[in-house]
Amino acid sequence: MNSIIMDIAIMLYLFFIVLAFIGSYYYGSYMISKSGYFLLHSIIAVIMSLALGIFALISWIMFSWGTNEHLLFGGLSLGAGFVVVGVLLLVSILCVKRKDLLSIKQVE
């Protein structure tokens, strides 16, 4: 396969994982501030991030299965690392902003 196509595929793969993190963060912060349920919406945001990350990993497996085993395993380890870092970052950011998100609900 052409190396330019592979570079574009890797960029789209990582972009989708980052987009899953951003979408999960916005969901979690919006719903926590509107409903006041921190734990429930934090768990849902983490599950959303994990599900979209696993979807990206499966898509990567389907894309790179026949091309090169180094590309397959390298992409899987890179994507799994991004998903794990994204979930940890999501949980830590939501925990740090917990008081701010819950105070928005109490003011309204």
What's the CA gap between 99 and 104, in Å, rounded? 9
What's the CA gap between 48 and 20, in Å, rounded? 8
Nearest to 24 by CA among 5, 1, 52, 4: 52
Percent of the chain with pLDDT over 90: 55
Query: For position 104, what pLDDT does the model report?
Result: 63
Residue 21: count of CB within 10 angstroms of its CB: 23
Cβ(46)–Cβ(94) under 8 Å?
Answer: no
Residue 42: count of CB within 10 angstroms of its CB: 21
What's the CA gap between 94 and 32, in Å, rounded? 9
Return the higher-pLDDT residue of 47 and 9.
Answer: 47
